[in-house]
C-alpha cells in the first residue's frame, strides 16, 4: 500500500501532540451512569461494589501503562496523571486518551461479574468518555487533584445527607432537595447528627476522600531524607548518580500498585512521596 495514489489522505490527519514538559491528566467519566445506577440498583449514595470495580479497573490501567504516575477516582470518574517527562505515543492526545478509555472500559467490563455476580451485564454496556489536559506546574497539578478531592467531599456530604433524609427520614426527593437548599456544610453535619445520629466523620474513608492509586514505594520522613539524598547525589560522580536514579526508577516500577483513601490536598501525602512529582 506504500505510495499508492490514495496515500495523500494521510495528510488530513491533524497533529495533536500535547505541550512538552507538562503534566498530562487524562480524566475519564462514565457515560450515563445515572441510568446505569438505576438499572443495576446501585446502593445510594455509595455503592461499594461499583467503587471497588472502578478501583480494580484503574489498578489494571496503571499496571498496563507504567508511564502513569498516580490516579485519583471518585464516583464514575478517574483521573490518570502522566509524568511531565512522559513521551508515550509522542504525547499524541487522541492516542493517550483513547488507550486509557478503552483499557479502562475493557477491564471494567471484564471484572464486572466479580463485583456484581448476581447482575449480569446487558446492553447498553458501560462506556466512558475521556479528555486530556496539560498542567504546566506542580502547583497546577496539585490544585487539579485538590479540585477533584474537594468535589468528592462536597458531593459526598450532600449525597449522604440527601439519602439519609429519604432512606431514614422518610421524605421524598423533592422535600429532601428543599430541606438542603441553601445549607452550608455545618448545617448538613448537624442534620445528619441531630436527626439520624450519624457522625459524618465516621463515614468510610473511600466515600469521604475518594481513591488514590499509586506505586507503593518507600515513605520519606518530610524534611530529612530528601536533603541528605541531594547532598549525597552532589558528592557522587555523575555516572553513579545516573545509574542510581535508573535503579530507583526500576524499583519504583516494580513496587506494588495500591489503592488508598488519603488526603491529597495537604502537603503531607506529597512530601512523604517526593518521587511522585520529581
Find which of Mg ion, ligand ATP, none residue 55 binds, CB within 5 to 8 Å per kind: none
33 vs 269, beta carbon nearer Mg ion:
33
CA-CA-CA-CA torsion sign (39, 41, 47, 49): negative
Backbone angles phi, psi at 125, to 5 degrees: -80, 155
42 vs 82, beta carbon nearer ligand ATP:
42
For residue 132, the cross-strand partners are 26
Among 25, 36, 50, 77, binds Mg ion (CB under 5 A): 77
Among 26, 28, 50, 56, binds ligand ATP (CB under 6 A): 50
Closest CB 246 distance from ligand ATP, rounded Å: 26
The residues, any chain, with a CB within 8 Å of residue 82's CB and separated by 6 or more, are: 23, 24, 25, 26, 67, 68, 69, 88, 96
Among 16, 20, 21, 34, binds ligand ATP (CB under 6 A): 34
Question: Quick check: 30 binds ligand ATP (CB under 6 A)?
Answer: yes
76 vs 191, beta carbon nearer ligand ATP:
76
Among 31, 153, 229, 272, binds ligand ATP (CB under 6 A): 31
Burial pattern 193-204, b for ≥16 Cβ within 10 A else e, equals: eeeeebebeebe
Helix runs in the chain, H state only:
33-39, 48-64, 93-115, 138-167, 173-180, 185-196, 205-209, 225-235, 238-254, 267-271
User: Cell digits for 150?
Assistant: 474537594
Question: Quick check: 33 binds Mg ion (CB under 5 A)?
Answer: yes
Find which of ligand ATP, Mg ion, none residue 73 binds, CB within 5 to 8 Å per kind: none
Find which of ligand ATP, Mg ion, none residue 190 binds, CB within 5 to 8 Å per kind: none
Burial pattern 27-54, b for ≥16 Cβ within 10 A else e, equals: bbebeebeebbeebebeebbbebbbbbb
What would the x/- binding string for ligand ATP be over residues 73 to 92, using CB under 6 A? --xx----------------
Among 76, 160, 161, 188, binds Mg ion (CB under 5 A): 76
The separation between CA 43 and the C-alpha centre of its own chain, rounded to angstroms, equals 21
**Which range binds ligand ATP by CB under 6 A, 39-47, 168-176, 196-204, 264-272?**
39-47
CB atoms under 10 Å from CB of 173, counted, come to: 11
Helix runs in 116-237, H state only:
138-167, 173-180, 185-196, 205-209, 225-235
Among 22, 46, 55, 105, binds ligand ATP (CB under 6 A): 46
**Which range binds Mg ion by CB under 5 A, 18-26, 57-65, 75-83, 100-108?**
75-83
Give the interface with Mg ion as residue ranges (CB under 5 A): 29-30, 33, 75-77
Give the interface with ligand ATP as residue ranges (CB under 6 A): 29-34, 37, 42, 44, 46-47, 50-51, 75-76
Amino acid at each position: 500500500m506504500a505510495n499508492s495514489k490514495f496515500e495523500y489522505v494521510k495528510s488530513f490527519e491533524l497533529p495533536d501532540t500535547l505541550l512538552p514538559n507538562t503534566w498530562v491528566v487524562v480524566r475519564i467519566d462514565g457515560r450515563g451512569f445515572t441510568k446505569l445506577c438505576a438499572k443495576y440498583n446501585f446502593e445510594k449514595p455509595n455503592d461499594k461494589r461499583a467503587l471497588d470495580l472502578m478501583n480494580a479497573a484503574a489498578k489494571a490501567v496503571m499496571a498496563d501503562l507504567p508511564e502513569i504516575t498516580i490516579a485519583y477516582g471518585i464516583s464514575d470518574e478517574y483521573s490518570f496523571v502522566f509524568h511531565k517527562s512522559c513521551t508515550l505515543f509522542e504525547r499524541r492526545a487522541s492516542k493517550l486518551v483513547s488507550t486509557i478509555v478503552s483499557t479502562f472500559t475493557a477491564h471494567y467490563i471484564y471484572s464486572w461479574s466479580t463485583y456484581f455476580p448476581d447482575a449480569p451485564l446487558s446492553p447498553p454496556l458501560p462506556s466512558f468518555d475521556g479528555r486530556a489536559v496539560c498542567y504546566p506546574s506542580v502547583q497546577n497539578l496539585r490544585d487539579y487533584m485538590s479540585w477533584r478531592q474537594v468535589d468528592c467531599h462536597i458531593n459526598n456530604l450532600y449525597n449522604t445527607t440527601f439519602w439519609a433524609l429519604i432512606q431514614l427520614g422518610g421524605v421524598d426527593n423533592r422535600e429532601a432537595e428543599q430541606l438542603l437548599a441553601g445549607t452550608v456544610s455545618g448545617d448538613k453535619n448537624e442534620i445528619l447528627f441531630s436527626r439520624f445520629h450519624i457522625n459524618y466523620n465516621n463515614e468510610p474513608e473511600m466515600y469521604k476522600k475518594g481513591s488514590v492509586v499509586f506505586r507503593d514505594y518507600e515513605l520519606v520522613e518530610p524534611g530529612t531524607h530528601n536533603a541528605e539524598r541531594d547532598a549525597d547525589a552532589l558528592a557522587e560522580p555523575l555516572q553513579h548518580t545516573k545509574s542510581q536514579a535508573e535503579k530507583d526508577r526500576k524499583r519504583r516500577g516494580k513496587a506494588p500498585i495500591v489503592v488508598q483513601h488519603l488526603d491529597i490536598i495537604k502537603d503531607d501525602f506529597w512530601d512523604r512521596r517526593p518521587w511522585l512529582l520529581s
